Amino acid sequence: MVKINQLLAEFEYAALHPGKIVANWKKDTGRKAIGCLPIHIPEELVHAGAMLPVGLWGGQTMISRANEYLQAFCCSVMKAVMEFALNGVYQDLDAVVAPTTCDTVNCIAMNWRLAIPSIPLMALAYPDNRKSESGIQYLAAEFRRLAMDLGRISGVKIHDGALQDSIDVYQRRRTAMKTFLNEASDYGKVITPYSRHMVVKSSMFMPPETHLALLNHLTDELKKLPKSDAGLRRVVLTGIMPEPYDLLKILEELDFTVVADDMALGSRQYRKEAPPCADPYERLSRQFADFEGCSTVYDPQKLRGKLLVDMAQHFRADVVIILLMKFCDPENFDYPFLKQDLEKAGIPHLCLEIEQQMQFLEQLRTRLQTFSEILIMKRNRHDLTDVGRS
């Protein structure tokens, strides 16, 4: 356990101090760092250009200057990103890549060029018709354009071979992350909801090779321990992100363990592997075309609910908790379909509206505690029924 605690502390430090991680990396390597706004940025392109991709996922801060650029109904994550940018928090970044994943991110891209001209911003347009051959080729062309822009910033031309190598590095990290998350589902008293999130979030800031090595070490150490999930309520989380951090600590206090997740800042990042392809840009484009289950990706079949049902059944979850980011239109549009699919499958679910800047979580604590007691009563009734049948 000593070694596991040391490893978890390393992940936590990286997740909580991304600025220091970036500054130290730039000092040690003499190379550049690129900010990546959520979600679906091909970090492999940044890595192939010998630069560090850095996830920009907001954080705890007082929103003030961002209100000059974003409306009151914009989500707290993007407001925090803009606040940090205006206050110089991202000064070590050499450029930022912004995807067209939602209306608010599009606003960030437009406002950034005006408000923070010292940090270049490159927009990346994703096609809605991502599964058509024309959509795949369009996105591959977008990736090639982005690679040229990144090459001008780094001074390193991104060759196809280097990009294939970077894709393979990220494939190995993706596989390792899925292995860890599967293993961690049975070690709820060791890998708490908070520590699990720290392992995942740190991957947004650390070099992938460093994170991969630590991740494999943690998984190996975890396998040496006896499983430890007895008495815990098994939960699947879905949403944009499982924050603020105090929410995760409340889950732990109430004996919930996160056995799987469908979070944008979570397992969605590692769900789909890049298929084999001679052209690395097309390889990344086809990976995006094959991806399912994200509110920011056009999905006329609404497959995310089925994915959640399968996930909950596979991991024997007691409940699915939907963390509904306030003012996030894509997530709000998805919720009725998720609710319908979960109810049809008979899977209990709880929907909690959250904001990254939430300071008072007692109402959420009360709802989670009530729901936990309901689950306990249902489990006890089920146990009594089984005894009667025996």
- Tens digits of per-residue pLDDT, 351-361? 999 999 888 89
The count of domains in the chain is 3
User: At how many degrees (to 10) do helices 193-202 and 2-16 cross?
Assistant: 60
Q: Which of 352, 353, 306, 321 is nearest to 233 (CA)?
A: 321
> Are the C-beta atoms of residues 30 and 221 closer than 8 Å to each other?
no
- Do 53 and 140 fall within a single domain? yes
| pLDDT given at position 384 | 35
The list of the chain residues with pLDDT below 50 reads: 384-390
Q: Could you tell me the CATH number of the domain that includes residue 91?
A: 3.40.50.11890
Q: Which of 195, 210, 230 is the last residue of a domain?
A: 230
Give the residue from 369, 341, 199, 340 showing the smallest Cα distance to 270. 199
The DSSP code for 1 is -
Q: What is the pLDDT of residue 109?
A: 83
Q: What is the pLDDT of residue 355?
A: 93
pTM score: 0.94
Amino acid type, 12: E
Tell me which of 197, 214, 230 is where a domain ends. Answer: 230
Is residue 98 domain-shared with residue 163, that is, in the same domain?
Answer: no
**Distances, alpha carbon 262 to alpha carbons 9, 125, 181, in Å:** 24, 24, 12
Residues 239 and 377 in one domain: yes
Residues 171 and 238 placed together within one structural domain of the fold: no
330 within 8 A of 105, measured Cβ to Cβ: no
Backbone angles phi, psi at 70, to 5 degrees: -120, 140
**Per-residue confidence (pLDDT) for residue 388, from 0 to 100:** 31
How high is the pLDDT of residue 387?
Answer: 31
- Domain extent, residue 208, equals 1-28+159-230
Map residue 322 onto helix, strand or coil: strand
Q: Are strands 121-124 and 95-99 parallel, antiparallel or unpaired?
A: parallel
- Mark whether 244 and 179 lie in a shared domain: no
DSSP symbol at 359? -
Same domain membership, residue 376 and residue 265: yes
Residue with tokens 């940025």: 41
pLDDT, position 378? 75
Same domain membership, residue 99 and residue 9:
no
Q: How far apart are CA 78 and CA 390, in angstroms?
A: 55
Considering the domain architecture, whether residues 253 and 112 belong to the same structural domain is answered as: no
Statement to judge: residues 327 and 216 lie in one domain: no
Asked if 152 and 165 sit in the same domain, the reply is: no
352: domain CATH number is 3.40.50.11900
In this structure, are 219 and 239 located in the same domain?
Answer: no
The Cα–Cα gap between 324 and 331 comes to 7
What is the spatial distance between Cα 250 and Cα 266, in angstroms, rounded to a whole number?
A: 19
* Same-domain pairing of 88 and 221: no
Q: CATH number of the domain that 4 lies in? A: 1.20.1270.370
Q: Where among 156, 184, 214 does a domain terminate? A: 156
